[in-house]
């Protein structure tokens, strides 16, 4: 490891919240909450990462209070007394271990797959134009403006509940082809009203969510927004083809009240645009002046393509952190989110800090089966 590990373990302050280091746990769906209620072992799961030195935990996606927000009965809700009590246990456990934690607030939109067991199957999925993918028949119904307003309110209520429960901030899931991202993506958003058309129109839904959250939680509660160019429906999709387009897009969200951008790439080491080595997180910070989080196969040699055990085993080999550390030392971005590495090994942050790279547990089939 030629680059200094010290850069990863410097403190960082995000909208008044002091983080002990630059290591974040990326949100990763686990389907471990039957009936949408996180049981006690979910609190223990997150506590383990906090007590081993992860600076910021971002929970798995948690669905807001809307009838078709979820794609599994085992995905945790962020509404209802039982689910919120469960999340209260999570917050307490993480804080007792000295950690900081944000929930990721989520609506899946038209990404409700017929093969999955999800709530309210009799209801059509919600999406900007009824589409899940550009080349497939409608998988939902275009959202009426009343439903848009209801979902905006649901995100704001969830954020208020998060603050009431003692969470340290929130993340909004605006990436990967789920509902908010479906509005961003012109291939799926074919609306002709104020929520479609040009960039400002396609971003209006997200802007209204951010503004509504800010009204509920005030100016001093950290708000992170997750973005991606790629979509689960199309790995090659692009919302922005140039820095100018990316800046115009992200600054609409920054002006609405976003404190930091969590920039999802499948491979964090790849340059986002020709002519510059900056990745997506590097460009987000440069263009908006806001802090950014990089994520995407950190500490691994290959990105994950598909969830089969064979693919997991092929993508499990641990890699050097040199590239990400060198960029962090240059302050191209501010935090580094670790997904599969942290999922497989609760002690990831501690082992890295102590230089015990040979002891890191790879993310293979065994890790997928246990998810401890």
Q: Which residues are catalytic?
A: 178
Q: Which of 284, 293, 229 is nearest to 262 (CA)?
A: 293
CA angle 72, 76, 81 (to 5 degrees): 125
- H or E stretch including 66? none
- H or E stretch including 142? strand 140-142
With beta carbons less than 8 A apart as the criterion, state whether 287 and 255 touch. no
With beta carbons less than 8 A apart as the criterion, state whether 299 and 357 touch. no
Q: Pull the structure tokens for residue 281.
A: 């997180």
Task: Give the number of other Cβ atoms within 10 Å of residue 61's Cβ.
Answer: 26
CA 346 vs. chain centroid, Å, equals 19
- H or E stretch including 58? strand 56-63
Measure CA of the first residue to CA of the last residue in the chain; give whole Å.
28
Longest dimension (CA), the chain: 56
Alpha-carbon gap, residue 290 to 224, rounded angstroms: 10
With beta carbons less than 8 A apart as the criterion, state whether 101 and 195 touch. no
Q: Which residue has the tokens 């209620």?
A: 37
Q: Which of 31, 29, 33, 36 is nearest to 119 (CA)?
A: 36
Alpha-carbon gap, residue 159 to 214, rounded angstroms: 9
Alpha-carbon gap, residue 121 to 115, rounded angstroms: 11
Q: Pull the structure tokens for residue 352.
A: 């890295």
């Amino acid at each position: 490891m030629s680059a200094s590990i010290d850069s990863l373990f410097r403190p960082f302050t995000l909208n008044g919240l002091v983080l002990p280091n630059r290591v974040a746990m990326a949100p990763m769906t686990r389907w471990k909450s039957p009936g949408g209620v996180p049981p006690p072992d979910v609190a223990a799961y997150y506590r383990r990462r906090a007590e081993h030195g992860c600076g910021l935990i971002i929970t798995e996606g948690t669905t807001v209070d809307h009838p078709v927000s979820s794609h599994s009965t085992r995905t945790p809700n962020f509404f209802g007394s039982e689910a919120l009590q469960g999340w209260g246990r999570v917050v307490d456990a993480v804080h007792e271990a000295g950690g900081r934690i944000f929930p990721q607030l989520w609506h899946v939109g038209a990404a409700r797959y017929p093969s999955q067991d999800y709530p309210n199957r009799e209801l059509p999925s919600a999406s900007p134009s009824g589409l899940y993918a550009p080349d497939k028949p409608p998988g939902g119904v275009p959202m009426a403006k009343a439903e848009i307003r209801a979902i905006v309110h649901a995100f704001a209520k969830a954020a208020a509940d998060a603050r009431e429960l003692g969470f340290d901030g929130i993340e909004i899931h605006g990436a990967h082809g789920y509902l908010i991202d479906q509005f961003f993506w012109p291939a799926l958003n074919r609306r002709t009203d104020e929520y479609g058309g040009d960039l400002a129109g396609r971003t209006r839904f997200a802007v209204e969510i951010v503004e509504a959250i800010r009204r509920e939680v005030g100016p001093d509660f950290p708000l992170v927004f997750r973005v991606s160019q790629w979509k689960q429906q199309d790995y090659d999709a692009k919302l922005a083809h140039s820095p100018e387009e990316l800046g115009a897009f992200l600054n609409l969200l920054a002006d609405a009240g976003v404190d930091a951008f969590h920039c999802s790439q499948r491979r964090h080491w790849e340059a986002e645009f020709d002519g510059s080595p900056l990745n997506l997180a590097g460009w987000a910070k440069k263009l908006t002046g806001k802090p950014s989080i990089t994520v995407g196969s950190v500490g691994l040699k290959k990105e994950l393509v598909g969830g089969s055990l064979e693919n997991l085993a092929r993508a499990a080999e641990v890699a050097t952190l040199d590239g990400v550390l060198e960029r962090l030392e240059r302050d191209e971005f501010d935090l580094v989110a670790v997904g599969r590495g942290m999922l497989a090994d609760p002690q990831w942050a501690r082992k890295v800090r102590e230089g015990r790279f040979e002891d890191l547990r790879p993310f293979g089939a065994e890790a997928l089966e246990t998810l401890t």
